[in-house]
Structure 1
Amino acid sequence: MATKTSLPDVEKEAHFDYAHLSNNVVQDFSWENITVTVKDRETKQPKEILSGVNGLVQAGEMLALMGPSGSGKTTLLNVLAHRKATPSGAIERAIHLNGSSTDLQTFQKLSSYVEQEDALVGSLTVRETLHFAAQLSLPSWVTKFQRIARINALLEAFGLRGQSEALIGTPIRKGISGGQKRRVSVASQLITSPKILFLDEPTSGLDSAASFEVINFIKIIAKRNGIIVIASIHQPSTATFELFDRLLLLSQGKVAYNGAVSNVKDYFANLGLHMPLYVNPAEFIIQLVNTDFSNDQGKADEQLLNIQNAWSRSNDAAVIAHAMRDLSSRPPTNLKDQIPSTRLTSANPLFIPLTLIHRAFIKSYRDVVAYGIRIAMYMGLAIMMGTVWLRLDTDQTNINAFTNAIFFGGAFMSFMAVAYIPAFLEDRQLFVKERQNGLYGPTSFMVANFIIGIPYLFIITILFSVIAYWLGNFRPSAEGFWIWVMWLFLDLLAAESLVVLLSSLVPIFVVALAATAFANGLWMSVNGFMVPPGSLNVFWRYVFHYIDYQGYVFRGMMVNEFGKRTYSCGDGCNCMYVSELQDQCRIDGKAVLASYGYDTQNVGKYVGYMLVIILGYRLLGWLVLYLKRT
């Protein structure tokens, strides 16, 4: 797609140099003898999924990593990007920039990685997506004017100017097309002017026209700014395939070809493997090295071995080896010495949580799935509860009904926090992507996640309480109402913190849902309503009851309702609970509390316990995110 203004022109007008990190800083990116060994599941013996892979890419070139499924291309891409390649296994690698090794921090500042799945916030616009990418990644010395200039330049360069105010799109609200989403994903990673760009299946899910469009935009940017692009790609169209400068073809973890795309046809023809006319060259070479569906497995394995051996003995392989020897013979260079110190700084860590809160706030009020549906659910529950326990009289026959209502309100409000799981898993996916790109860590994410939830949970608490509390005729006083609100609010904070912990531990929706439901069932069973605390089995009481946040909520609400209220004994004055008011034909609510072993003292201590439990869940969630990198 043609653009009216070129990227350098826009940046020049803004007095901003896109290549502030000089084009000469990273001249080449090379790797030698990359080998990844894992334990075979069946034989339990060591198995190489990558074996002795060498490669070299120059500034401004695009390299395609191709091969059949299971050939090792994604593993190689992750190894090159300094990411976790396999859950377990030994990795041998020698990776160099300009012929010299560099530390991880510097490498992350020089590179960006675009995931196969678009980890975008669907309720943000295209411009907002780039804005928050800039806020999270650019150092503080970049002025607001320069950030806007960089965003405008990327919108122009990727043909997204016309869609800048369009939403990315959610399951409920239609947004931009798949090809445009991929362009936004790439543009958001180019916001930091990286010199190496890794793309994991950038055309996945796109048709041939959209695939060509995305790769063509990337090629223009790469050539113009000397960016090295390394992309794993499955089976591109002929037009898309020819956009790449180099091809690294893998099969069964070994190199079958590593050279110019323009030489592919002649190279395999010299091996006696002639490409028919009008055949997609990408499909042709993939079929050559794919032995999975061969009718004659022995013949296919023999042909693949011949192709791999031919490459290792080829002049092209020798040229690459010679070039890498030349690079290694250079005097060692320290890239940090060539890069302005401001380029190696990150965004101000004090402002990152504020940026995450701002982004989450926009998402939460635009995306009804995050909190809108939850508010509707809680409102429905409040109406149901208020009309079932409608205007209960203060008669002893209703004491059990009041007690049941207190349990139901606290327990089911907690249980319905499972509705937050999908929204959190989406936020976590984005966090993992941005963390792996070195933008921020679990502390900023957890702080922002907690703070953004507070106002929404408080709104939910107020809306629920206004309906359920007064319809149910609980203790009719402002004090009683606000104490109820406090306990319910703490209940929701604890429930959502539990969701965050379990969803961080097992980030799979069905499993997280099951684990959260089980945990809530456990807390309901031991909170003191089903079985009074004094009658609980010793194991359940001492192992779970005292860490059960629902138990403290139930206790606090019971004290709030019965601690300052009396109930009539009805006709005949046959009081169900013995109290000092029996001679007045009434029951002091404290007698009801005594039957559960509760008193009206130490309520503040129970509030403290709730805060400790909430903090504990959040700290454990932080620890899980800290230890888990994916």
Structure 2
Amino acid sequence: MENGIPLNSVSSTDLERNEKNQFLMNHTVQDFSWSGLTVTVKDRQTKNVRDLICDISGSTQQGELVALMGPSGCGKTTLLNVLSRRSATSGAKVMGDCYVNGSKIDTEAFERMTSYVEQEDALIGSLTVEETLKFAADLSLPRDVNKRQKMERIRTLLEAFGVQNQATTLVGTPIRKGISGGQKRRVSVASQLITCPKILFLDEPTSGLDSKASFEVMNFAKQLAKSNNIIIIASIHQPSTTTFQLFDKLLLLSAGRTCYNGPISNIESYLDRIGYPIPAHTNPAEFLLDIVSADFGGGKGPSKDPVKEIQSAWANSPEAAALNRELSEHISSGMEGKSVSMEDIKRPNIVRITWALLHRLFIKSYRDVVAYGIRIFMYLALSILSGTVWLRLSTTQASIQPFINSIFFGSAFMSFMAVAYVPAFLEDRATFAKERANGLYGPLPFMIANFLIGLPYLFIIAALFSIVSYWLSNFQPTAQAFFTWIMWVFLDLVAAESLVVFVTSIFPNFVISLAIVAFANGLWMSVGGFLVSQKILNPFWRYVFHYIDYQAYVFQGMMVNEFQNRSYDCDQSCHCMYQSDLASQCKIRGTAVLEEYGYATGRTGKWVGILIGIIAVYRLFGWIALHLRRK
């Protein structure tokens, strides 16, 4: 056994095996039970309270593979979410209790000892299959599991799930084709198994797999449960006969109520006793789903309403009574001395987690063209557009307004185009939500890694944009002015991306977050001081929005950078658009333009500080949003 995974092909010394087995023995969950679980919601039309699941009880011991079965809409996923301490559904009220080793434990400790594989794969498409498992190990395994042990575990899982030939293949992005849907499903399960959870929840783990692949996945899960003494609970829909027989126990639901809860080996005799014998040469799983289907009325039994009859038969059965009695005795005893504390489940510290996230985001950032590649191309195109539209502006008063227009256009649209970051952050956020729900890490390392990984790319974008547009437009031709310009573009991009992170953390929906970010940028353009000077801006917009508008500080900074040390020629008749002390020389001092807009010089440091503060607030609010929102 290698770190809790049976190995047939990996050699190891007896001493190493003993050490690894001891590692597992220190974190044993002997049983998991639940009593009286009920989830109710208020019907939107009738306003009456209705049950999604009603009075569900059960238990399972270490080494068992449990199936949650039932027709669509019967409450399988709801029950699985409640068992795994996830949100059942919006506005739901949850009653009942869950116990580990007969005792209640806090949610943080529970998340550390469990893993959940969702029905929809939340994988990073720009990573290879092997890298996906490697980062799962880096984020979950303690320091005493060395690099060689990690790689052996990864290799074992790749072979067990039949994806060893795809180890170096990308998972796949919308632009770059990767592995198939079925292979993604197997990688999702494998990435959770690498953490050696004590309780593993699988939501439709065989979805998208053919019969052979489904059997192989569940067969490996069964072997893993037996060899490592862990508990696996899986919702599954219509498995094949061979796959169905792999499970140790079955919890059969219909309309949120129990129809059977016990060993698979007893299901046939139980159905015979209540008058629903399984016909010969019939897939038991298909027959069970048929007779408990509330939507289509069943129809296989002698009753006009077979579903209610089956539910009633279970509620009054000696098996249900024995289960409830066993649960009551077990919970009251509390299994003293066998509870599991959070200290028993080691995780990497925040520094190691942040470093692993940085490494993963770095790979993603240069492979996934959506994250920064397309944006670099877009900004280069914008720089060419800006530089050629405002091409070689002269130092005459006729070019003053074009200079101002160019400054506004460049700063505003550089910020606006940050909406392109929304889909990339949504993918990162979905991965974070999955890993956080599994107790791997919290919002802080995620936000730190996300912020740091973007800085070099945003600086490259700022530099490339400036190199092209700044010199083409003939802005102030000094090194100091040029690098100051780059600084303002860079801070503009960082603030814009921070706004995207903040909004998308609250609204993890592509259309909604895109619309809100676009609206916010339109608002910032309106109150930034270009379209309407801050001196005459409506007091409401000025005091409520202008002073928190990061674009306003970028625009002010760029204006001062261009005009404070430059002068412009008046027209041929010596008529000057702006009055300054150089009027007698038929020139306009640039500070006169700044005075017209109400901008003073010597405040660059103050504006930079305010802008950094706005960036910090956006990131802080994003962290708070992720901290408060669990999904």
Q: If the length of structure 1 is used for normalisation, what is the TM-score?
A: 0.93
**How do 1:310-389 and structure 2 match up within 5 A?**
310-328=313-331, 330=333, 332-335=335-338, 343-389=344-390
1:165 to 145, 152, 168: 168
Give the direction of change, closer, same or farther, for the CA distance of 1:598–1:103 in structure 2 (3 Å limit).
closer
Residue aligned with 1:205, SS: coil
8 A Cα contact 1:395 1:570, kept in partner: yes
Which stretch has the larger CA shift, 123-132 or 265-274? 265-274
Q: Supply the distance in 2 between the matched residues of 1:272 and 1:91 (Cα, whole angstroms).
A: 34
| Alignment pair present for 1:67 and 2:70 | yes
For residues 154-553 of structure 1, the aligned pairs below 5 Å read: 154-294=157-297, 302-328=305-331, 330=333, 332-335=335-338, 343-553=344-554
For residues 301 and 410 of structure 1, the distance between their equivalents in structure 2, rounded to whole angstroms, comes to: 72
Counterpart residue identity of residue 309, structure 1? S
Q: Is the 8 A contact 2:68 2:253 kept in 1?
A: yes
Provide closer, same or farther for how the CA distance between residues 438 and 7 of structure 1 changes in structure 2, counting only shifts above 3 A: same
Contact 1:7 1:154 in 2 (8 A): no
In the aligned structure 1, how far is the partner of 2:113 from the partner of 2:432? 20
Q: Which residue of 2 is the match for residue 591 of structure 1? A: 592
C-alpha displacement of 1:613: 0.5
Amino acid in structure 2 at the alignment position of 1:495: A
Secondary structure of 1:198's partner?
Answer: strand
CA distance in 2, matches of 1:607, 1:486: 9
Are 2:159 and 1:129 equivalent residues in the alignment?
no
C-alpha distance in structure 2 between counterparts of 1:269 and 1:493, whole Å: 68
Distance 2:105 2:623 in 1: 30
Aligned partner (choices 87, 91, 94) of residue 84 of structure 1: 87
What is the DSSP-based 3-state SS (H/G/I as helix, E as strand, rest coil) of the residue aligned with 1:204?
coil
- RMSD of aligned residue pairs (Cα, Å): 2.3
Q: Which residue identity does 1:10 align to in structure 2? A: V
Equivalent residue of 2:305, what SS? helix
Q: 1:300 to 1:133 in 2, by over 3 A?
A: farther
The CA deviation string for residues 193-244 of structure 1, in whole angstroms up to 9 with x for no partner, is: 2221100111223333332332222222222222211011223233332322
Contact 1:38 1:89 in 2 (8 A): yes
2:457 is paired with a residue whose SS is helix
SS in 1 for 2:394: coil
Q: Do 1:356 and 1:445's aligned partners in 2 also have CA atoms closer than 8 Å?
A: yes
Q: In the superposition, relative to structure 1, how do residues 128 and 467 fare at CA in structure 2: closer, same or farther (>3 Å)?
A: same
2:297–2:305: 8 Å Cα contact kept in structure 1?
no
The 10-residue stretch of structure 1 (566-575 or 137-146) with the greater mean CA deviation from structure 2? 137-146
Whole-Å Cα distance in 1 between the matches of residues 22 and 369 of structure 2? 40
Corresponding residue SS for 2:568 = strand
CA deviations on 1:541-593 (whole Å, 9 max, x unpaired) are 11111111101111110111111111111321121111111121111111111
Partner of 2:601: 600
Matched residue SS, 1:572: coil
Offset at 1:531?
A: 0.6
CA distance in 2, matches of 1:463, 1:91: 54
Q: Distance in 2 between matches of 1:333 and 1:114?
A: 31
Distance 1:57 1:19, change over 3 A: farther
Distance in 1, Cα, partners of 2:141 & 2:113: 12
Per-residue CA deviation, residues 592-617 of structure 1 (Å, 9 max, x unaligned), is 11111112121211111101110111
1:331–1:288 CA distance, 2 compared to 1 (3 A): closer
- Residues 211, 240 of structure 1: 8 Å contact kept: yes
Whether 1:7 and 2:7 are equivalent positions in the alignment is yes
Shift of residue 140, structure 1, vs aligned partner: 2.4
State how 1:17-32 maps to structure 2 within 5 Å.
Answer: 17=20, 20-22=23-25, 25-32=28-35
1:350 and 1:66 map into 2 onto residues whose CA distance is 42
Residue 626 of structure 1: CA displacement?
0.7
Q: Could you give the per-residue CA deviations for residues 137-175 of structure 1, whole angstroms, max 9, x where no partner exists?
A: 112233333333333333343333333222222222222
Q: What SS is found at the alignment partner of 2:73?
A: coil
Query: Relative to 1, partners in 2 of residues 1:257 and 1:484: Cα closer, same or farther, differing over 3 Å?
Result: same
SS of 2:421's partner is: helix
- Taking the aligned partners of 2:287 and 2:258, their CA distance within structure 1 comes to 16
Q: SS where residue 93 of structure 1 aligns?
A: strand
CA–CA distance in structure 1, aligned partners of residues 281 and 398 of structure 2:
87
- 1:620 is the counterpart of 2:616: no
* Number of residue pairs the alignment of both structures matches: 622
* CA distance in structure 2 between the aligned counterparts of 1:429 and 1:149, rounded to whole angstroms: 28
| Structure 1 range deviating more: 379-388 or 319-328 | 319-328
Unpaired runs of 5+ residues, structure 2, are none
Kept after mapping to 2: 8 A contact 1:32/1:95: yes
AA of the residue aligned to 1:507: P
- Of 252-261 and 367-376, the range deviating more from structure 2: 252-261
- Please give the secondary structure, in 2, of the residue aligned with 1:435: helix
- Gapped regions of structure 1 (runs ≥ 5): none
Alpha carbons of structure 1 residues 468 and 409: separation in structure 2 relative to 1, 3 Å: same
Identity among equivalent pairs (%): 58
Could you tell me how far apart the structure 2 residues matched to 1:582 and 1:406 are? 25
Offset, 1:533? 0.5
